[in-house]
Amino acid sequence: MVDATSAEAKSPNRFIKMAAAINETDRDIKYFLCQWGIGEDVPQWAAPLGNSWRMSNDIFNAWRAIWRITNQVVAHAKYNGPGAFADMDMLIIGLGALSHDEERFHFGFWSMMKSPLIIGGVMDAKQIPAESLEIMSNKEVIAINQDPLAEAAKLVIRYTEEEWDVWAGNLSSNRQVLGVLNWKNETQTVKVDLSLIGVDKAAARDVWAHEDLSISGIQEFKLAPHELRQLVLSDISPASLPKAAGYYSAQDATLSGSASLVNCKDTECLPTHKKVGSIGSDAKVTFESVSAAKDGPAYLGIDYINHEYHHTIGDWETNSRNMSISVNGQAAKRWAFPNAGGDWFESDRLRILVDGFKKGDNNKVAFTASASGGWAPDLVGFEVLE
């Protein structure tokens, strides 16, 4: 059982002492911290101190562990840099825990996030299937992990009810890595708006099929259950990113139920230094007079805070908080918001696509906790992106 509550467990002091002792030697030593993501601002102090730091509790032999760690790494991987990486724990490839596509997903996503690739199985051909060894030997995927830019991918957009994500990150030589993640237990066809990553068209290398492709505009992908489609993009023709058409701060919303406005310090709750917290089952946060350029769906960039993480490894905790969003009184849809930062005052942004807007300045957008129960993330504000 991980000690997740004591002052000693949350403190960096013992790691600072060890780093000082290591620095007194005249040897090159890789220093891997194991804090399990416990406490506040872990990546801020761990990244300058060690070569890697564990950012979650232990992985376990089940597909759902991938989802749990994925949601927690968002708050950590943005602090990656040369010589300092968020450690998503060992690979459970070749252990009989995952399907073939799930093992590819696991290895490919860990590579995109620049996690150390630590083999969890016994390196014996009699114990690890040849297909699993082939996955861990994919040089094109390993090259993504070892890219000298050392930058982790970021969550570009999430479709929670449809069960798929888009992640992307910069690589050296003006390239990008694009990952389309199918969390669904079924095959599905999805459409990725490449303008969200600043791409109009590009040459693409499918690192699992070992095929050269070209992609452009709104790109369609047919995904097998639990498949990660992983592409390296080069010769990129840029596209303009969607631009904000106005910011709607939490302080301007109408609150009901348990929802309450919190004033933050100048360095907190960015960009407004205020947030709405305590968004429980009886709460609603409503914004009036929201502008939209056209009828139909619009991208929203939602600034939120979520520092809820769990340290049981066999249950169904997700390290996410659910929030439902409704436009102009239409049926609400749910989104799973991952961990945002190192405490309850560090914000991050989740981009989503929401339908129901009417052209003009009279739209109403309402945020509530999900009907499935639990607290919603704290809300800082949002932009409509056009």
Whether 98 is in a domain gets the answer yes
Judgement on whether residues 279 and 378 belong to the same structural domain of the protein: yes
Cα separation, 376 vs 277, in Å, equals 8
Q: Do the strands 284-292 and 360-369 form a parallel or antiparallel pair, or are they unpaired? A: antiparallel
**Phi-psi map region of 230: left, alpha, beta (phi>0 left; psi -120 to 50 alpha):** beta
d(CA 46, CA 180): 29
Q: Give the alpha-carbon dihedral of 364, 369, 375, 381, to 10 degrees.
A: -20
d(CA 299, CA 104) in angstroms, rounded, equals 30
Based on the structure, what is the number of domains in the chain?
Answer: 3
Q: What is the pLDDT of residues 287-303, one digit of tens each?
A: 999 999 999 999 999 99
Q: Which domain holds residue 105?
A: 7-146
Q: Say yes or no to pLDDT of 28 above 80.
A: yes
CA-to-CA distance for 33 and 15, rounded, in angstroms? 7
Look at residue 2 in the predicted model and tell me its pLDDT.
60
Domain annotation covers residue 70: yes
Pairing mode, if any, of strands 333-338 and 320-327? antiparallel
> Domain for residue 331, yes or no?
yes
Instruction: State the pLDDT at residue 125.
Output: 83
In a domain, 252, yes or no: yes
Domain endpoint, select from 238, 267, 283: 238
What pLDDT shows up at residue 126?
A: 86
Compute the average pLDDT of residues 102-106: 99
Terminal Cα distance for the chain, rounded: 48
For the segment 181-210, the average pLDDT, to the nearest whole number, is: 99
d(CA 339, CA 84): 20
Q: For residue 314, is pLDDT > 70? A: no
Q: What's the CATH code of the domain at 171?
A: 2.60.40.1180
Residue 10: band (very low, low, confident or very high) from pLDDT cuts 50, 70, 90: confident
CATH number of the domain enclosing 260: 2.60.120.260
| Same-domain pairing of 40 and 163 | no
pLDDT band at 313 (very low <50, low <70, confident <90, very high): low
